[in-house]
Amino acid sequence: MNRGPFVCALLAYLLWGFMPLYFALLKEVSPGEILAHRVAWSGILLAVLSGITGRWHEVLRWLKSPRLALAAIVSTLLIAANWLLYILATTRGEVLQASLGYYITPLFSVLLGLVVFNEKLRFAQWVALGFAGAGVLVQGVLFGKMPWLGLGLMLSFGLYGFARKKMGIDSIAGLTLETTLICPVALGFLLFWYWEGTGIFLSGNFQQDLWLLLAAPVTAAPLLFFGVGARGLPLSLMGFLQYLSPTVQMIVAIVFLGETLTMGGVASFALIWTGLLVFVIEAWHTNARVQAKTSE
């Protein structure tokens, strides 16, 4: 195995896992303003990166086609919703919910395959989905706290992943396209808030301004590492590594952000982890059988 792509993939998921620490620094800023800054500064940085790496021709091709632009608008709305929900979760001290949402996203993707493509689910996949569903119900019904933010993150990111897979555009060009579409809206809001004097940016808090500007590298760095890892590693390994991010988020929430894992949370996560274990083992065995057949 090539160490370079593996290290890059590892860094991507670790950076995503530690990202709540960054947003915790911005808890005094409204989620809408954080989102606007993240879109605006990330859009500018990604536009530069796409220019350096020669991806603008792909971005322009999508913008010039009404059909392709419509698909890009859908993915843009989904990623914007996902970012906003994640900002809400991290600034409100609900990082454990975010972790739960990203744990069950791969299982939601399997369910999407069943609903959209009428795919046949294997028995073990049904078992995994059953455990995940039970985990959510335990927290919502038995302990009276439905993880709406986690479910929103699962829904928005699962649908976003589905939309991006259908689009067939690489990660950097794709996010450049999406931020290009929504950047004028974000900049419009930022200018309006500045004009009204209600915005945080350039209001005299230099440290806060710096944290907001760092939204660009915080967004782009893991994306760049992920792109290198995805190109150089087998899909099965990337699928396994994706669970690193919500695991780190969970540790960060408890150790650094002071969140408490209640009995309902313990029961919920235990059921979801059981489902994921069944899911991963079944996927590994299926992949091994397919490789064995192709090598015969």
The sign of the dihedral angle between the CA atoms of 154, 157, 158, 159 is: positive
Query: Alpha-carbon distance 104 to 99, whole Å?
Result: 9
Would you tell me how many other CB atoms lie within 10 Å of the CB of residue 166? 12
pTM (two decimals): 0.91
pLDDT at position 294 is 66
pLDDT at position 115 is 84
pLDDT at position 31 is 95
pLDDT at position 120 is 84
The H or E element containing residue 53 is: none
Contact criterion met (CB below 8 Å) for 129 and 275: yes
pLDDT at position 145 is 79
Q: What letter does residue 93 receive in the DSSP assignment?
A: T
* Average pLDDT along the chain, 296 residues, taken 10 residues at a time: 84 96 94 96 94 93 93 96 96 94 91 83 91 89 82 95 88 92 95 91 89 95 90 80 94 96 90 93 80 66
Q: Which residue has the tokens 């900002």?
A: 87
- Calculate the CA dihedral of residues 27, 32, 36, 39 and round it to 10 degrees: 80
The string of DSSP letters for 226-258 reads: HHHHHHHS-HHHHHHHTTHHHHHHHHHHHHTS-
pLDDT at position 239 is 81
Task: Enumerate residues 6+ apart whose C-beta is below 8 A from 276.
Answer: 103, 106, 107, 128, 132, 243
Task: Enumerate residues 6+ apart whose C-beta is below 8 A from 20.
Answer: 90, 95, 98, 249, 252, 253, 257
